[in-house]
Structures are given as C-alpha cells and as structure tokens.
Structure 1
C-alpha cells in the first residue's frame, strides 16, 4: 500500500466551507494563512491537496497562487512547485528600508489630517500592544505592531503610497521578525510606540517624525541582528540554479511566464 500523504502545515491551517469555493474566497483564505505567519517561508503548497480541501479543481487554486506570486507571497520554482515565498537576507533588510521611507512620508501627511476618530483607532491599537506585552504574546505583539503603525499612517489618505507600504509589509509578514527579537529590544520599541502616539494625538509633526526616525533606526538594528541560519531565508541564487524573483520597489515580485 502507498504511504499516506502527510498534510502540509498550510493545509492544516486552511478554513473552508461551501462559501469558500469561489476563486476570490480561495485567494483570500490562502493569503490569510500566509500572512498570519504560522506557515514558514519555504513551506511547499501542494496544489492537489489545496484543491481537495476546497472541493474544487486545480484551476482556481493555480490562478490564486499566480496572484499571490504577483503579491510576493508565493514563489514558483522549477521541479519544486509552489511554496511560501522566501527572501534573501539582503532582500529582507531592503524591504524594511523601503517600508521606513514610505512610512515616514505617510506620517508627515497623516498627522496633519488626522481626526479624533483616527486618534481613537490609534489609541486602541496601542492598548492591544500593551496587552500583548503584558502577556508575553510575541506573535500577538507582531500582529498588533503592524496594526498600530497602520493606524498612524492611514489618515494620510494617500492611497497609492499606502498600497505600496502594505505590499512591502505583506512580503515580510510571514517571517514574523517581531516575534524573534529579545525582550529588551521589544521594550525599547514599545516605548517609542507610546511616544509616537503622544505626538500624533498632539499633532506635533516634527516631534513625531523625529521619534519615528529613531524607531525605524532601532528596528533596522533589531532586524540586522536576527539569526540568518533558521532556514527562513534563501541564498542569493535561490538554491535552484536560477535567481529568485526580486521584489520590485512596491514590494511585489514578478510573476513567472
């Protein structure tokens, strides 16, 4: 008898019912699982098993995966198939640099345009970060950190810029870097979050940008210290004899022809 197939980590995390059989729903669910960070970069995505899980043919699954390749969340490699996208160390650090530039540009506008309703969203986001810190919930801290930063930049209403920022953020999300830094670094970054909120609510643009710059510098330092031998990162040549898809300035990757 042939050996039973072992379900992949990704398959085990998929949630589906009769309402998740459309291509749009399949795409959304695959994106959710990858962005949650519970499926490590480099994890294979078995098309047949995904199709079986959703009760559909391979066609909508493949189309969804092609879309995710365009978003930088999935790679396709000859002889290996589809897998959760990996980055080289330099690509990963470069995307954080891009994120920092985009975020500061959005903050400069957001602090001038923010309303009391925007303030309330940011205050609530910081409260969620506080709870994650108190509970030593490192994964939760990573998730809520993104929510907080987006709460500060969304009032800019600069949709193209915010779209590029979200794309760059998504590509780095499966690596969960905030879950891997030490508690001292996390504490320093969290104190800066509180200072950023104080200046945001007070509409102190210059002070907000000064703290944001220090925060991003400290974040870059934390990222640079992350271990690179965990299997999350790929070598510059992609280990396949061909170069990996390089992120574009908006954080996306090319779709294979």
Structure 2
C-alpha cells in the first residue's frame, strides 16, 4: 500500500538530498545561512516535504546549529518551511486549497497595484518591463524553463513596482514565494504554458498603451488560466499535502 503523502515526505531518500543542492554564496566571508537556504528552497530543487537536516546544513556552512535553527524559524514565518514535532523542519507542503488561495491573494494584490502602476510608470519603467518580456521570449526559444520562470516572476513584479505600494509589493512577493517549491509552471501541460505566454504579451501591450482597465482585465484572465493550470495536478501527493479531513 502506498504510504500517506506526509509520511513519504520524510523518507531517508529526501533526507540526503537537501545539502547536495545548497550553494554557499559567501565562501570567503560570513556564511549567509538564511539567504542561501531560502534560495535553495525558492529554486524548487527540493520538493515540498523534503526534510531539512539541521546538522548537515550546519556542517555545510561551517557553523553551529544555532544560526541554522534561527534561519529555519525565519523561513517558517515566511511560509517556506514547516516544523513537525519529533520530526524536524521540512520544506513547506501546502494543501491544494491553500495553494490555490495564494493565487487568489496574488491576483487581488496585483489588481490593486496595477492601476496605480500604469498611472505612475515612467518610460524607463515601461522599457524595463519590455526588456524582461524579451528575456522571457529568449528563454522560451532556448527551452530554458528555469530562466523563463525567473523572468516571468520579475515581469510580474516590475509591472506593479511603479505603483509605489511597497508593502503590497512585499506581500505579493511573499505570496509568490510560498508556491515556488512546487515548481508549478513546470507541472502545467504545454498547452497551458502557451496560454500563459499569450497572456503576458497581452498584459504588456495594455501596459505600454497605458490602458489601466485593459491591463487589469488581462491580469484577471491570466489568473483564471493559472488556476486552470494548477488544477491539472491538484491530486498529486508529491506536491500537495492531503487535508487532514481527507485522511
């Protein structure tokens, strides 16, 4: 019988892989434990549920377990890590309803900021968004999924940054971060990803035209398509935690 998803996520195989993909960005200076562990999680190399071995991470950075535990507590507050009593820390594993809710949060925040962003964006802002969109096209042509995903995230953030709503932008980025470990766009079928590409082009065209109503409409349509995309893997136990009421 296949073990429940939560039990499978704490298997020895996953215990051994986390440190193998860590990167220390400051090898000649103080260890940047918090930043580097966060980056490892956001890259999506470690699937949701991957156990984070504190002792092994401490050895990797050449520090005691204290800064590692402090970093994991911060990441827990950011929704990227969760702590299970008598088990330890692991990459956060959301239920599908929780995951979908984060897309609803992102849509609400993006819609709130876009009108002000269109109104306040300078020509330099528009040029920067356009250049990042070109990077997305180049990554797509090169079939570089990771580069495309990173450029897509930057594209969305650049669209709303001219709004001047810094707290909102911070919340938006935090909501996006919580979905990153699942690498959702890599799981969406090719047809769905093609729709996202069209959405981005339509959003950019409306942004360049300074048509706030159309930008918001295009953004809302994009989130409808995103929700359709993530619904295609809603029952994948490697991605989502089974709600306790379903066990």
How does the TM-score come out when normalised to structure 2? 0.89
* 1:65-122 deviation line (CA, Å, top 9, x unaligned): 0000000000110121010111011100111111111111111111111011111221
Matches within 5 A, 1:86-235: 86-235=93-242
CA deviation map 1:232-255 (0-9, x unaligned): 21122399x9xxxxxxxxxxxxxx
- My pick for the range that moved more, 185-194 or 67-76, is 185-194
The 10-residue stretch of structure 1 (11-20 or 44-53) with the greater mean CA deviation from structure 2: 11-20
3-state DSSP of counterpart to 1:39: coil
Which deviates more, 137-146 or 179-188? 137-146
Q: Give me the whole-angstrom Cα distance separating, in 1, the residues matched to 2:66 and 2:152.
A: 36
- Structure 1 residue runs of 4+, over 3 Å off? none
Q: Which residue of 2 aligns with 1:249?
A: none
Distance 2:64 2:234 in 1: 40
Name which of structure 1's ranges 6-15 and 35-44 shifts more when overlaid on structure 2: 6-15
Structure 1: unaligned runs, 5 residues or longer:
242-257
Give deviations 1:139-172, integer Å, cap 9, x for gaps.
3322221111111111111011111111111101
Q: Relative to 1, partners in 2 of residues 1:143 and 1:6: Cα closer, same or farther, differing over 3 Å?
A: closer
Q: Which deviations, in whole Å up to 9, do the C-alpha atoms of 1:8-37 show, x marking residues without a partner?
A: 32201222224242xxx1101011111111
User: In the alignment, is residue 62 of structure 1 matched against residue 69 of structure 2?
Assistant: yes
User: CA–CA distance in 1 between the matches of 2:71 and 2:128?
Assistant: 32
Q: What residue number does 1:252 align with?
A: none
Asked whether the equivalents of residues 42 and 83 of structure 1 are also in contact (C-alpha less than 8 Å), the reply is yes
Shift, 1:125, TM fit: 1.2
Aligned to 2:224, what secondary structure does the other structure show?
helix
How many residues are treated as equivalent by the alignment? Answer: 233
Cα RMSD between the aligned structures?
2.0
Aligned twin of 2:21: 13
Give 1:245's aligned residue: none
Tell me how far 1:189 sits from its aligned partner: 1.3
Asked if the contact 1:126–1:148 (Cα under 8 Å) also holds between the matched residues in 2, the reply is: yes
| Structure 1 position 227, deviation (Å) | 4.5
Separation in structure 2 between the aligned mates of residue 238 and residue 114 of structure 1, nearest angstrom: 47
2:95/2:243 contact within 8 Å kept: yes
* Alignment correspondent of 1:43: 50
